[in-house]
Copies of this chain bind each other. A is one copy, B any other.
Amino acid sequence: MTRHNTKLKILEHAGRLVRLKGFNHTGIQEILESAGVPKGSFYFYFRSKDDLGLALINYYAELIAQKANSLFDKAEGSPLEKLLKFFQGMRELFEQDEWRGGCPIGNLSQEMSLLNDTFRSNLQRVFSAMQLKIRDYIEQGQAQGDIDPRFDPNNMAQFILDSWEGALLRMKVEQSIQPLLIFEMMIFGHLLTL
């Protein structure tokens, strides 16, 4: 395994553990054992646990951006339909944890925002990038007459993103897909529908 692959493998396993147990509750040894990487080699890849946490934020930011691009490129229909398909596609990501895992970005936000300003500014950046992507599709929908032009597209994008994060939090507490389905119904069946 190349050095790059090992680093990715550590991030994958760290991500799963953070989704399931949170960042503070996940130990370095546990991550390495889960990834099958020899103990002691951690500091070859990361300077500290915080360094791993920051790499994890970037890893998920990249993963979300790739998944978003692939979903938007594949989706057919109006900007509004594409936006719905994006959230439906993202929803599938959480099936692997059987709706118990929660959002890694949400987890890190809840746990680390106040403890570490570098974490916080990186998390802000991830939220901003997602919000911008959603805003683009709202603006396109407004231009095509699908979405009410009176909405401020940036505020609407923020509300949708924040509500999505709230639905993911509730999903984790209920261990159920249901909060995500209610999110989709309310945003796409009521709020955005003309």
Which residues of A are interface residues toward B (Cβ below 8 A)?
20-22, 24-25, 100-102, 106-107, 109-111, 113-115, 120, 123-124, 127, 151, 155-156, 158-159, 161-167, 169-170, 172-175, 179, 182-183, 185-186, 190-191
Contacts and interface: CB of A to CB of B under 8 A. Distances in A.
Given A162-B182, A165-B170, 17 more contacts: A22-B110, A25-B115, A102-B113, A107-B110, A109-B170, A114-B172, A124-B173, A124-B174, A159-B186, A162-B170, A162-B179, A163-B166, A164-B166, A165-B166, A165-B169, A166-B166, A166-B169
Given A155-B182, A162-B167, A165-B170, A25 B111 contact: yes
**Interface of A (DSSP majority class):** helix
Contacts of A25: 24, 111, 115
6 closest pairs, A vs B, by CB?
A: A166-B166, A163-B163, A110-B110, A24-B24, A162-B166, A165-B166
Contacts of A169: 106, 109-110, 162, 165-166, 169
B107 A173 contact: no
Given A162-B167, A191-B191, A172 B113 contact: yes
A107 B170 CA distance: 12
A192 to B, nearest CB: 10
A162 B25 CA distance: 25
Contacts of A185: 155
A83 to B, nearest CB: 16
A111 B114 contact: no
B114 A110 contact: no
Contacts of A161: 170
A13 B68 CA distance: 42
Given A107-B110, A111-B25, A115-B21, A162 B190 contact: no
Contacts of A115: 21-22, 25
Contacts of A179: 158, 162
